[in-house]
Amino acid sequence: MSPKQIHPNDCEKLTDKMCARIKMWSSRNLSYAGRLQLVNSVLMTISSYWCQIFVLPRKVIQGIIGVCRAFLWHGTYSSHKMSLVAWDEVCKPKQEGGLGIRNIHIWNLAAVGKHVWAIANKEDNLWVRWVHTIYIRDQSWVGYRPTQICSWIWKLFCKIKDDLLEKQIDLHSNKYSIKQVYDSLTHTGGKVHWDKVVLNRAALPKQQFLMWLSIRGRLLTRDRLSRLGMSTETSCCLCQSGEETHLHLFFQCSFSRECLSRLMQWMDCRTQHNDLHQLVNWIGRNYKGSRLRRQLYGAVVSALAYRIWQTRNDMLWNQNRISADSIVREIQYVVKNRIQFVGRMSSLDKEWIDAL
């Protein structure tokens, strides 16, 4: 129990350590998917120990979020440029349309909540015995209210206890799991129908990320750039016959529609949808075939969306147009080879894949 409140300057080493890691990575040409993996596996891990020991000041949490956000979207540790998706949306669970990045504020609450649980269960350690002797005494921990003369950190623990009880977290359970409590605090119930199709293991990580951006309508298409005042040209780079919107590009453009039609024919997939949302909805909800075929259909759509966006950028900046034949052959080769390593498959599915 520190009598002096933690100052943001006391936690500078935490953000400095994260920035030092990013400086090591900044020279590498990392994709969004690569940066996402590093944020999840390295940057969030650095802060995890601190979150279990201290209630981090709000300014420190904002600093950690700023570092992670800048690295994910811009590859650096500090940036004031526009992010394609709001950070609160990025931190949502995957089944609710996010990327599953840890929400530092809620993780800190869940991690420190273990101390609150230890007090409620009178765990056998010196600190818990001291708390019960000095503060709680004969009172009930659930209904306990701190007095004005109590330590600042003790008042904070009491507030966390009230927050957890308000969220209906059971403080008298036999075991406390930080992950389970975090999941309970983050899940709002607003699930999306496309998460298993968009974030599909059969697709490459970079394809998954771009598919996630496109399904949310957050790519910088010409119509969005025009609304932002960054461009006056709105025609499609690929067909020159319509306004370049997400709806047009995936897959109402004649070029992208041709690629989609040929790939659907290759897979013997009988659907007439040429709208990305409708296609994803059909694969995720209405398709009645095997799980592996559903994964393959999702992987093909993700690979095509990625390749269409790549071709659009190549056409825009380098005036280099790639034929539909080349795109279709490339996607067939990549998807067919990757799907074989996703998991176990039935003999019927194996025969079907071999016949493709």
Q: At a CB cut-off of 8 Å and minimum separation 6, what does 281 contact? A: 193, 194
Identify the band that residue 19 occupies on the pLDDT scale cut at 50, 70 and 90: very high
Of 153, 171, 190, the position where a domain reaches its end is: 190
Q: Are residues 33 and 176 in the same domain?
A: yes
* Residue 168 pLDDT exceeds 80: yes
Q: Are residues 212 and 142 in the same domain?
A: no
Identify the band that residue 9 occupies on the pLDDT scale cut at 50, 70 and 90: confident
Q: Are residues 164 and 70 in the same domain?
A: yes
* Residue 63 C-alpha from the chain's centroid: 19
Q: Assess contact for 261 and 300: CB atoms under 8 A.
A: no
* Residue 352 pLDDT exceeds 80: yes
Of 190, 225, 241, the position where a domain reaches its end is: 190
Q: Are residues 170 and 135 in the same domain?
A: yes
pLDDT tens for 62-95 read 999 999 999 999 999 998 888 999 999 999 999 9
Q: Are residues 43 and 155 in the same domain?
A: yes
DSSP per-residue string spanning 168-228 = T--TTSS---HHHHHHHHH--S---S-HHHHT-TTS-HHHHHHHHHHHTT-S--HHHHHHT
Q: Are residues 177 and 208 in the same domain?
A: no
Q: Structure tokens of 354? A: 């071999």
* Residue 189 pLDDT exceeds 80: no
The crossing angle, in degrees rounded to 10, of helices 104-120 and 44-53 is: 30
Closest CA to 251 of 287, 305, 197: 305
Average pLDDT over residues 105-126: 93
Number of domains in the chain: 2
Task: Identify the pLDDT of residue 5.
Answer: 76
Q: Are residues 167 and 272 in the same domain?
A: no
Q: Which of 6-15, 17-26, 131-140, 203-212 has the lowest mean pLDDT?
A: 6-15
Give the E-state strand segments of 81-197 in sequence order: none
Q: Are residues 232 and 156 in the same domain?
A: no
Distance from C-alpha of 206 to C-alpha of 274, rounded to nearest angstrom? 23
Task: Identify the pLDDT of residue 53.
Answer: 84
Of 143, 166, 190, the position where a domain reaches its end is: 190
Q: At a CB cut-off of 8 Å and minimum separation 6, what does 15 contact? A: 60, 63, 64, 67
pLDDT tens for 252-269 read 999 999 999 999 999 988
Distance from C-alpha of 307 to C-alpha of 210, rounded to nearest angstrom? 10
DSSP code at position 124: S
pLDDT tens for 268-278 read 888 888 899 99
Q: Are residues 241 and 332 in the same domain?
A: yes
* Residue 41 pLDDT exceeds 60: yes
Task: Identify the pLDDT of residue 27.
Answer: 67
Q: Are residues 214 and 166 in the same domain?
A: no
Residue 169: domain span? 1-190
Q: Are residues 91 and 219 in the same domain?
A: no
Task: Identify the pLDDT of residue 286.
Answer: 86
pLDDT tens for 141-154 read 999 999 888 888 89
Q: Are residues 82 and 109 in the same domain?
A: yes
The crossing angle, in degrees rounded to 10, of helices 254-266 and 291-318 is: 150
State the pTM of this model.
Answer: 0.91
Closest CA to 271 of 259, 283, 258: 283
